[in-house]
Structure 1
């Protein structure tokens, strides 16, 4: 029988959840399996069940709270993020955020309400207002950088270890240094050091998978960032499902998992 890690590597997320659930039921005190189950449940979208596994983990071994507590805060941030996409809950914003960011929030409200034309018009105006930002991907220079998703085009989605979900304007970011993935959850939320002008220099997590699945559902390939699909036709505001992609200099697309560092030249 294939192990959970083998199933996950093959893209069978639900199979990995089933296998790990069986292992935990057979050996409830197996802390490593219970932790893996919590991570797999988050990947599959079952955030509340994942939180329950962390609660059980801390009851079995109180010392595990050192690792479990920060993860529970990230679960709260992820819950807020999902509520943005499903219910329109507004993310946390920095002081002095520009009008282009607020315009994209307004566009998403219209999109959720079914006003596709209205959302497209606002997104088009916001793109005109979006400042081009130059910098380096590793050692490779660029003159402009944006998310391919029209709603998050000029921002980074950020989850903090204090349970907050932020939209950080790209033109406020000085540096992002990504940590190489080590655990399954690193495929969903990339750990990184982020330096933001006049705000913070901190360890955060950046979602590597789009939140658009809340609008239409998603499969294992989307949840694991193995594929990118788009909601929206030509001339409409486009929302991503699956692997997050950026566009560099208006031409080259690059996925977040392939980036080691980003340094921006601020105006």
Structure 2
């Protein structure tokens, strides 16, 4: 089987072994190096992925923009893991809001195994958080949230080399490129318009934190989502990110555009 066949079959370790052999046989082939960088990123081998990314830039000057963008994404992954472990805080876009501080405090309680306390804190945060109405691929919604309870009205994104949590009400538009490469299973490129009027390109992590510990390669490849319930009514995802609205649930890689009304609506609960 070829590396592509192994990948289609969801056999990541076998695909890595085959691709490594291909690179050793033809070390100057930039396409194989890009493929290897992407596969290592899927596996969460960030340092090795960064090494291959650097080699890509050396072999192909035309790849330097890609190298710079994804080098920053790789660097942010270490901080992201620390945030969900309750040890670090992300950059918060916009003015500090009390409910966001509560969401971060809940992560610390999760890390300590105090899931009931974390759930109570999140309930308090959601009572304070503004809801955001708008449309998702043309379908109207009264509110939108990440389906993972750890995030709710917040969106993870990497902007200008920094790992952000952005409240949905601070956004007016998020447009996602259609998935085209293996790396899109790790980070989805997006064009973001903020409520302040600014615009930026961004990467939205495709998979939930904790996915890399899963035994199922389909989760690492963002081909599915599984939910765990550490406390009654609190759902935490692994695999592909899902947006929830009052109308439906939407897997991230299927979404092309979210438009959010400028004025916040009522609180989320």
Query: TM-score w.r.t. structure 2 length?
Result: 0.90
SS of match in other structure, 2:174: strand
Post-superposition CA distance 1:52-95 (Å, at most 9, x none): 11223334445543331221111112222122224622111123
Question: Where does structure 1 lack aligned partners over 5 or more consecutive residues?
Answer: none
Q: Write out aligned runs for 1:60-209 (5 A).
A: 60-61=59-60, 64-86=63-85, 88-160=87-159, 162-198=160-196, 200-209=198-207
Whether contact under 8 Å (2:115, 2:230) holds in the other structure is: no
Provide the C-alpha distance between the structure 2 equivalents of 1:69 and 1:116, rounded to a whole number of angstroms: 39
Deviations 1:205-225 (A, max 9, x none): 1112111336x5453121111
Aligned partners of 2:171 and 2:197: how far apart in 1? 9
What SS is found at the alignment partner of 1:209? coil
Shift of 1:257: 1.1
Native 8 Å contact 1:78 1:159 kept in 2:
no
Cα distance change of structure 1 residues 86 and 19 upon mapping to structure 2, 3 Å threshold: farther
8 Å CA contact 1:178–1:260 kept in 2: the answer is: yes
C-alpha displacement of 1:166: 0.3
Partner in structure 1 of residue 43 of structure 2: 44
Question: 1:256 maps to what in 2?
Answer: 252
Once residues 234 and 248 of structure 1 are traced to their aligned partners in structure 2, the CA distance between those partners, rounded to angstroms, is: 22
Q: Distance in 2 between matches of 1:28 and 1:126?
A: 52
Q: Secondary structure at the match of 1:246?
A: strand
Structure 1 residue 130, shift from structure 2 partner: 2.4
Q: 1:136: Cα distance to partner?
A: 0.7
1:225 partnered with 2:222: yes
Query: 1:208-251 deviations in whole A, cap 9, x for unaligned?
Result: 2111336x5453121111222233345264321111112211x6
Instruction: Pick closer, same or farther for the CA change 1:115–1:136 going to 2, 3 Å.
Output: same
Cα root mean square deviation, aligned: 1.9
Contact 1:20 1:33 in 2 (8 A): yes
Q: Provide the C-alpha distance between the structure 2 equivalents of 1:149 and 1:26, rounded to a whole number of angstroms.
A: 43
List gaps (5 residues or longer) in structure 2.
264-269
Deviates more, 1:150-159 or 1:219-228: 219-228
Give the distance between the partners of 2:215 and 2:194, measured in 1 at CA: 32
For residues 29-64 of structure 1, the C-alpha deviation after alignment (integer angstroms, 9 at most, x for no partner) is 111101110011001110111011122333444554
Task: Determine if the alignment matches structure 1 residue 246 to structure 2 residue 263.
Answer: no
